[in-house]
């Protein structure tokens, strides 16, 4: 498909639900979830592997960084549509199209609020003016591509009659997808489904567009509302990996997809998601943004397939279907079986890496192999999660301005205060320092911050064991803030203090990158 004749690549099949992923745009608005350009491209490739239909890569007019992210993702992704968000303003639309011109199948996504509260207090415009703006914006976008989506922001709190009038007008102007968002997570499933039915019944040209829904989780109903809309006739769901997003988050992709999959008998709909890539994608995002997946998270949480009750365990042993309605393998989740040791060869390690869903070069496999053997000298049992932690630590870590080379910590309840000795590379120059702290972690962070010449505020510190056992690798997450910038860092190591140092340095590198990008 050429950019001169961009068309929607799917028709209006009644049983097909299209998955629109907005992790790179709305998901990134989740506090602390900012990604670098390289991380966005990496996630976009994983989303393509997952089989999403549309990737919303960003808001090109928002900043030079967003523009570049949309442009590079559009260049990279070839097997699904790439969308750029913009207001119903000519300059925004032109900027979005400029970023999307090299996409294999570009989509311009324009939005404008239609609820009384937004029109009066935010836009300060009359309904007539909003209708005029919506039509003008869509018409301009349609002059650039035939693949245009219009979103009626805060649709769930809009007057249904006015909303229907806007939807009909933008379809006439060239919109091929009309999105009916529950922007503030206010709607209830029954009334949201009724709103979709109302539009189907009262918009005469609704058959010329795909009805889309975009729900927020402020009341914990994003997934329920999205599924209610599908029952009512919506055929595109806008969602994010792990449900991340503004405030309480967006519709969780894994949850809506597995509802459609497990209860196909009820919804009688299909989607194109490769379900075996759901868990690897969830883990990829978790590592990129440094947000652990909650243990009780549906579908991808650590407890989703765990059984503590004796009655449940007995039932599962006799017949898995007694208490498990899904197979963990269906979402790509592997068990904790021991997989490797220090005598494992490159072929075994390469096979495990590929089983985890990573495609690495021979040189990268060698790096992982060496790290596995080094870890095996410390830790008897090497699990799949250990291998993944090594891949993310050794292969996908962003280029470092600061690099931790050596760390030694003294702690205890004796007369000598906790202290740390740190050797670091700072822009290629080796520096070392010995410093003290209230506790061992404080000593580590004080010493690293002094060497780096930057002591941001620590907003979050969390430690998790990657696997079971007292010799498990520790995974540390920190969130740092410096003025208006915040960043999450992550580090893993069998030594919690070393993992903490790695996480702190990782966060410092992310902060430095943000400052550089915003001053470029």
Beta-bridge partner residues of 216? 250
Q: Tokens 């007694």 label which residue?
A: 322
Ligand-binding site membership of 259 (annotated): no
- Order of strands across the sheet that contains 457-465: 457-465, 474-482, 485-493
Q: What is the DSSP string of 377-413?
A: TT-S-B-HHHHHHHHHHHTSSPPPSEEEEEEEEE-SS
What span, in angstroms and rounded, lies between the C-alpha atoms of 198 and 186?
Answer: 18
3-state SS, one letter per residue, for 27-85: HHHCCCCCCCHHHHHHHHHHHHHHCCCEEEEECCCCCHHHHHHHHHHHHHCCCCEEEEE
Parallel/antiparallel/unpaired status of strands 457-465 and 210-214: unpaired
Q: How many CB atoms lie within 10 A of CB 303?
A: 12
Q: What is the DSSP string of 174-196?
A: T-SEEE--BTTS---HHHHHHHH
- Contact 232/194 with Cβ under 8 angstroms? yes
SS3 216: strand
For residue 426, which of 505, 511, 495 has the smallest C-alpha distance?
Answer: 505
Ligand-binding site membership of 216 (annotated): yes
Ligand-binding site membership of 250 (annotated): yes
Tell me how far CA of residue 384 lies from CA of 130, 225, 280, 289, 485, in angstroms: 54, 36, 12, 21, 34
What span, in angstroms and rounded, lies between the C-alpha atoms of 105 and 150?
Answer: 17
Q: Tokens 């009750």 label which residue?
A: 309
Count of positions (residues) in the chain: 520
- Alpha helices per DSSP H over 356-481: 362-376, 384-394, 440-452
Q: Tokens 């007995």 label which residue?
A: 314
Ligand-binding site membership of 26 (annotated): yes
Query: Which tokens go with 73?
Result: 């993702």
Q: What is the DSSP string of 262-299?
A: HTHHHH--B----GGGHHHHHHHHHHHHT-PPPTT-TT
What span, in angstroms and rounded, lies between the C-alpha atoms of 317 and 311?
Answer: 10
Which residue positions form the known binding site?
A: 26, 214, 216, 250
Binding residues for Mn(2+): 26, 214, 216, 250
């Amino acid at each position: 498909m050429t950019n001169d004749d961009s068309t929607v690549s799917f028709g209006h099949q009644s049983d097909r639900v299209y998955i629109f992923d907005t992790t790179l745009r709305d998901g990134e608005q989740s506090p602390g979830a900012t990604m670098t350009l390289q991380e966005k491209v990496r996630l976009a490739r994983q989303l393509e592997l997952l089989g999403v239909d549309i990737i919303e890569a960003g808001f090109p007019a928002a900043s030079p960084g967003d523009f570049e992210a949309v442009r590079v993702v559009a260049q990279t992704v070839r097997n699904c549509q790439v969308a750029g968000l913009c207001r119903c303003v000519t300059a925004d639309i032109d900027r979005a199209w400029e970023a999307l011109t090299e996409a294999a199948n570009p989509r311009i996504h324009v939005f404008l609020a239609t609820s009384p509260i937004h029109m009066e207090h935010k836009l300060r415009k009359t309904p007539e003016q909003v209708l005029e703006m919506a039509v003008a914006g869509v018409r301009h976008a349609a002059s650039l591509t035939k693949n245009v989506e219009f979103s009626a922001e805060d649709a769930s709190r809009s007057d249904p009659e006015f909303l229907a009038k806007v939807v009909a007008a933008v379809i006439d102007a060239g919109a091929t997808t009309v999105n009916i968002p529950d922007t503030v997570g206010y709607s209830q499933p029954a009334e949201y489904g009724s709103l979709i039915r109302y539009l189907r019944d009262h918009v005469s040209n609704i058959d010329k567009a795909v009805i889309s829904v975009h729900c927020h989780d402020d009341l914990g109903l994003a997934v329920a509302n999205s599924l209610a809309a599908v029952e009512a006739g919506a055929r595109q769901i806008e969602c994010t990996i792990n449900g991340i997003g503004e405030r309480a988050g967006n519709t969780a992709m894994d949850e809506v997809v597995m509802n459609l999959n497990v209860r196909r008998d009820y919804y009688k709909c299909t989607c194109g998601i490769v379900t075996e890539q759901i868990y690897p994608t969830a883990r990829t995002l978790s590592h990129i943004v440094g947000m652990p997946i909650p243990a009780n998270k549906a579908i991808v949480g650590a407890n989703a397939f765990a059984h503590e009750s004796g009655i449940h365990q007995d039932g599962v042993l006799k017949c898995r279907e007694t208490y498990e309605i899904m197979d963990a393998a269906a979402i790509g989740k592997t068990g904790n079986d021991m997989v490797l040791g220090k005598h494992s060869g490159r072929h075994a390690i390469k096979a495990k890496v590929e089983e985890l869903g990573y495609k690495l070069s021979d040189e990268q496999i060698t790096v992982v192999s060496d790290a596995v053997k080094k870890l095996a000298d410390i830790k008897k049992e090497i699990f799949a999660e250990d291998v993944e932690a090594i891949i993310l630590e050794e292969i996908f870590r962003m280029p470092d301005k600061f690099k931790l080379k050596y760390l030694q910590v003294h702690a205890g309840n004796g007369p000598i205060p906790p202290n740390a000795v740190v050797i670091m590379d700072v822009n290629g120059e080796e520096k070392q320092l010995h410093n003290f702290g209230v506790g061992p972690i404080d000593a580590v962070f004080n010493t690293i911050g002094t060497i780096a010449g930057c002591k941001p505020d620590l907003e979050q510190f969390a430690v998790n064991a990657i696997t079971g056992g007292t010799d498990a690798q520790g995974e540390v997450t920190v969130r740092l803030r410096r003025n208006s910038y915040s960043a999450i860092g992550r580090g893993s190591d069998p030594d919690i203090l070393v993992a903490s140092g790695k996480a702190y340095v990782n966060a410092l590198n992310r902060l430095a990158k943000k400052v550089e990008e915003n001053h470029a």
